[in-house]
Amino acid sequence: MSVTASTESTQSMSSAPAGEVLESLNPATGEVVGTYPVHDEEAVAEAVARARKAARWWSGLGFDERKNRLLAWKRTVVRRIDELARLMHAETGKPTDDARLETIGAIEHIDWAAKHARKVLGPRKVRTGPLAMNLAASVQYQPLGVIGVIGPWNYPILTPVGSIAYALAAGNAVVFKPSEHSPGVGAWIAETFAEAVPEEPVLQVVTGFGPTGAALCRSGVDKVAFTGSTATGKKVMATCAETLTPVIVEAGGKDAVIVADDADIEAAAEAVAFGAMGNAGQTCVGIERAYVTEKVFDAFVDRVATIAAGIRVGAQEDAQLGPITMPSQVEIIRKHITDAVERGGKAVVGGPESVRPPFVHPVVLTDVPEDSAAMTEETFGPTITINRVRDLEEAVAKANATRYGLGSAVYTRSTSKAMEIARRLRSGMTSINSVQTYAMVGALPFGGLGDSGFGRIHGPDGLREFAAAKSIARQKYRMPLPLLSFARKPRHMKLVMWVVRLLHGRGR
């Protein structure tokens, strides 16, 4: 599929000075999928200036009309899902059904954000308390203005839409800088949105490499929603600090699953194999470590190994595991596997020889030293490490012994035990008897702790990230006591202190 973006004509793809061009390459074949402009600082500033005007118009539409437009956009995405899946396959190597599933997740989030923005962000009255009974108080959440969204390539629609849909529903305009590995999907997102909102450039795309992202950070946008690696997140935060631009950082992870004695081993193995190797393991909430109790360790390893060994690897649209999208990642994956094996880990399926660029075939490692790179750093490949633990206490301690804190999972038949473990796992999200399922639930906030970043997309928290609380206190009548006035007398204070002691100074 060949997609060559227009550099001038559409309002959604910002114009750029003639110059450097970005080629989007098919990771399996090296073919050019499309060419896109590299937007420089000036072009980014122009896009943000256009977005400012569009933001005023868009926020003026109000919740109901914005909902109508977002739902119209959603329907367009549904109608054109096959075309998008092929484009995602061409740019990232992702199998087309995985691309469709990812898009379904994005569709759910557009729907949830559109339908809940008024309830979460709209004006509501709040109680004032006895000392302020002369006031009527209300709070509402107002749009910030223009949001800069910087996205990765691994989930090129689900991830950015997790910020974009919520920012738009909250009444902001968006300037989106997709990854240099998936600019076509970025352009497609803006193009389909412009079908539903043709009047103003409410959602624009700027394309390019790191410097285009940095220009967006410096452009005076009102907030930056960044998703990508922890290392780049730190750079983004430093650049945003220059202009005191607030930032959300959705970064990498090293997610663990805990499998207990009483787990359904068949179900756990099936889900964990996909959670680790689906999307060729290039998933921020991919399962990279499994901690399994002694009693079920061998059965679990056997089952995961059988599933992993049977995965169909290839460049076809219907393969189960596609190529590694980013060529530089292949060496990191190779290094982690080699290091784990050299340090005593056992390769139950595959090994260093599984790295055959642009593909990495499934690798299952067991008994890997806890301080090896495969256990401490994000591998981002179709590999999993499975280590045995005495009991669940050891499992929780080891799962939490990471500087990341994005997702986690637990398998046990006991709901009370599962809930207790879920609460103790130091991560933003935990799934019980499933993997990664929280990402598809519109109402559930998504985000991490530690090196996985901060801030939340999705759910009510995700809407509030893109809005500022506005508090209004209206005086209905004058207070009988002139407290905030130079007319205040000692007897007024005496009286108010008597009331305060009565209200707050008694009891335990």
Given candidates 3, 70, 150, 421, which one binds ligand NAD under the rule CB under 6 A? 150
Which of 253, 351, 362, 405: binder of ligand NAD (CB under 6 A)?
253
Near ligand NAD in 338-397, by CB under 6 A: 378
CB 24 within 8 A of CB 32: yes
Nearer to ligand NAD by C-beta: 108 or 180?
180
Residue of 99, 175, 194, 214 interacting with ligand NAD (CB under 6 A): 214
By CB under 6 A, tell whether 209 contacts ligand NAD.
yes
Contacting ligand NAD within 312-331 (CB under 6 A): 326
Strands in 429-432's sheet, in edge-to-edge order, are 346-349, 363-366, 383-389, 287-293, 255-259, 407-411, 429-432
Rounded CA-CA distance 502/508 in Å is: 13
406 binds ligand NAD, rule: CB under 6 A: yes
Q: How many CA atoms lie within 13 A of 148 on its CB side?
A: 31
Which listed range, 106-114, 197-205, 206-214, 408-416, lies at the site for ligand NAD (CB under 6 A)? 206-214
Rounded Cα–Cα distance for residues 178 and 481 (Å): 58
**39 is a contact residue toward ligand NAD (CB under 6 A):** no
Q: Which residues on adjacent β-strands are paired with residue 414?
A: none
What does the alpha-carbon distance between residue 186 and residue 198 come to, in Å, rounded to a whole number? Answer: 17
Residue 326 exposure: Cα atoms within 13 Å on the Cβ side: 19
Q: Could you say which of 52, 134, 140, 210 contacts ligand NAD (CB under 6 A)? A: 210
Nearest distance from C-beta of residue 252 to ligand NAD, angstroms: 3
Q: Does 152 bind ligand NAD (CB under 6 A)?
A: yes
403 is a site residue for ligand NAD (CB under 6 A): no
Residue 255 contacts ligand NAD per CB under 6 A: no
Q: Which of 102, 250, 451, 465 binds ligand NAD (CB under 6 A)?
A: 250
Q: Contact, 55 vs 23, CB < 8 A?
A: no
User: Does 407 participate in binding ligand NAD (rule CB under 6 A)?
Assistant: no
The CA distance from 91 to 72, in Å, is 26
Question: Least separation, in Å, of the C-beta of 453 and ligand NAD?
Answer: 6
CB atoms within 10 A of CB 377: 19
Stretch that binds ligand NAD, among 39-47, 88-96, 112-120, 177-185 (CB under 6 A): 177-185
The residue nearest ligand NAD at its CB is 213
User: Considering the complex, what minimum distance in angstroms separates the CB of residue 224 from ligand NAD?
Assistant: 8
Site residue total, ligand NAD (CB under 6 A)? 31
> Nearest Cα to 105, choosing from 431, 414, 439, 501?
439
Please identify which of the residues 284, 377, 378, 465 carries the catalytic annotation. Answer: 284
**Dist. CA 381–CA 331, nearest whole Å:** 10
Residue 213 interacting with ligand NAD (CB under 6 A): yes
Interface with ligand NAD, residue 191, by CB under 6 A: no
Q: How far is the CB of 107 from ligand NAD (least distance, A)?
A: 18
Q: Which two tokens stand for residue 394?
A: 């050891």
Question: Closer CB to ligand NAD, residue 145 or residue 407?
Answer: 407
> Does residue number 177 form part of the binding site for ligand NAD (CB under 6 A)?
yes
Torsion sign over Cα 165, 167, 172, 175: negative
Stretch that binds ligand NAD, among 98-106, 165-173, 251-259, 498-506 (CB under 6 A): 251-259
* Contact with ligand NAD (CB under 6 A) among 236, 324, 337, 368: 236
Q: Exactly one of 14, 92, 96, 179 binds ligand NAD (CB under 6 A); which one?
A: 179
Least distance between ligand NAD and beta carbon 474 (Å)? 40
How many whole angstroms separate alpha carbon 361 and alpha carbon 384? Answer: 12
Residues paired with 408 in a beta bridge:
256, 430
465 lies in the site for ligand NAD, by CB under 6 A: no
Of the two residues 219 and 293, which places its CB atom closer to ligand NAD in the complex?
219
Radius of gyration of the chain (CA): 26
Q: Could you tell me the smallest distance in angstroms from the CB atom of residue 248 to ligand NAD?
A: 10
| 284 binds ligand NAD per the rule CB under 6 A | yes
Rounded CA-CA distance 181/226 in Å is 16
Q: Which of 108, 250, 288, 377 is catalytic?
A: 250
Residue 80 or 235 with smaller CB distance to ligand NAD: 235
Q: Give SS3 for 331.
A: helix
Quote the least distance from Cβ 314 to ligand NAD, whole Å.
23
> Cα–Cα distances in Å, from 289 out to 247, 349, 388, 393, 444?
29, 15, 11, 16, 24
Q: Quick check: 251 binds ligand NAD (CB under 6 A)?
A: yes
Active site residue 284: yes
- Give residues with Cβ within 8 angstroms of 389, minimum separation 6: 291, 292, 293, 294, 395, 398
**How far apart are the C-alpha atoms of 115 and 122, rounded to whole Å?**
12
Tallying the residues shown for the chain, one arrives at 508
Q: Which residues contact 119 (CB under 8 A, 6 or more apart)?
A: none
Residues 136-166 as b/e (b if ≥16 CB within 10 A, e otherwise) read eeeeebebbbbbbbbbbbbbbbbbbbbbbbb
Instruction: Round to whole Å and give the CA distance between 392 and 262.
Output: 11
155 binds ligand NAD (CB under 6 A): yes
Contacts of ligand NAD in 88-117 (CB under 6 A): none
- Name which of 227 and 385 has its Cβ closer to ligand NAD: 227
- Would you tell me which residues interact with ligand NAD (CB under 6 A)? 150-155, 159, 177, 179-180, 209-210, 213-214, 217, 227-229, 232, 235-236, 239, 250-253, 284, 326, 378, 406, 448
Which residues are catalytic, by number?
A: 250, 284
